[in-house]
Amino acid sequence: MCNQTVCLVAAELERQGISTVAIQLLRNVAEKVRPPRALFVPFKHGYPLDTPGDPARQTAVIEAALKMLEDPSLTAPALRDYPIK
Amino acid sequence: MGETSEFSLTVRLFLKGYPWRKIDPVPWTPLKKPLSEAKLALVSSAGFVMPGQPHFDESFKGGDPSFREISSTVDVKTLVETHRSESFDHAGLEKDPNVGFPIDRVRELAGAGKIGSINHRHLSCMGSITAPGRLIVNTAPPAAKTLVEDGVDAALLVPV
């Protein structure tokens, strides 16, 4: 449910003029709900940025997500897989 | 990997027939300035509250659709996780709240000049919302408006 919830909040933020990118843990849910920008990460539920206490790993995931905000090639709904190839 | 196979049979059966909310049309706001000049806010659905804030209501039928504001200056170690779901391992969030609310990582990125600035407040909700109508109609619009009024350019949303 968490995946859908952040997608719905992201949509409202976009409607009000804020660019968003949402981490997603279930690819099929992201495909069905369709947030504007989503980065699917291959981690377990409860671990959206992977390993606790691993700042480098967490930062890598965050930067991959934020990179989508500046990618002019993307159109809605944009769904990418981490790691981005 | 995050898969529904992680869940109990009861949850899997529920999800199998669950009517996911399709966003249609999909809104799209291009980032109006480089990220290095943009103001960023976080939205976490991990159910975090700051000390003294009311916990999310586990008894709320369909899921508590309310939001809490988390200060940008918060020490993540003081955050209290009040997510009701038993469908995921809470140990990671307990050990390192940055896994679900990465304010320390965002501060580092801002310090490195990769993000322009960090908003003074962020949004926290409890993502286990099976009936999201009240979220869509009643609570998300005013929550989003607070970030608009703060001049936020971009938001990173993190589910658990």
Question: Is A41 an interface residue toward B (CB < 8 Å)?
Answer: yes
Distance between A77 CA and the closest CA of chain B, angstroms: 6
Distance between B127 CA and the closest CA of chain A, angstroms: 4
Q: Which of B29, B88, B160 is the closest to A18 by Cβ?
A: B29
Q: Is the pTM of this model over 0.90?
A: yes
pLDDT of residue B9: 80
**Helix H or strand E encompassing A2:** helix A2-15
Contact between chains at B90 and A59 (C-beta distance less than 8 A): no
pLDDT tens digit sequence for A49-74: 999 999 999 999 999 999 999 999 99
The domain of A75 spans 2-81
ipTM of the complex: 0.98
Optimal mutation site among B14, B24, B29, B134, interface A, most CBs of chain A within 10 A: B29
Tokens found for residue A72: 């002019």
DSSP secondary structure, B98-138, as one string: GGTS-HHHHHHHHHTTSSSEE-SEEEEEB---S-THHIIII
The total number of structural domains in chain A stands at 1
Residue A40 pLDDT level (bands cut at 50, 70, 90): very high
Tokens found for residue B14: 């529920």
What is chain B's pLDDT, residue by residue, as a tens digit (160 residues)? 667 777 788 778 888 889 999 999 999 999 999 999 999 999 999 999 999 999 999 889 999 999 999 999 999 999 999 987 888 899 999 999 999 999 999 999 999 999 999 999 999 999 999 999 999 999 999 999 999 999 999 999 999 9
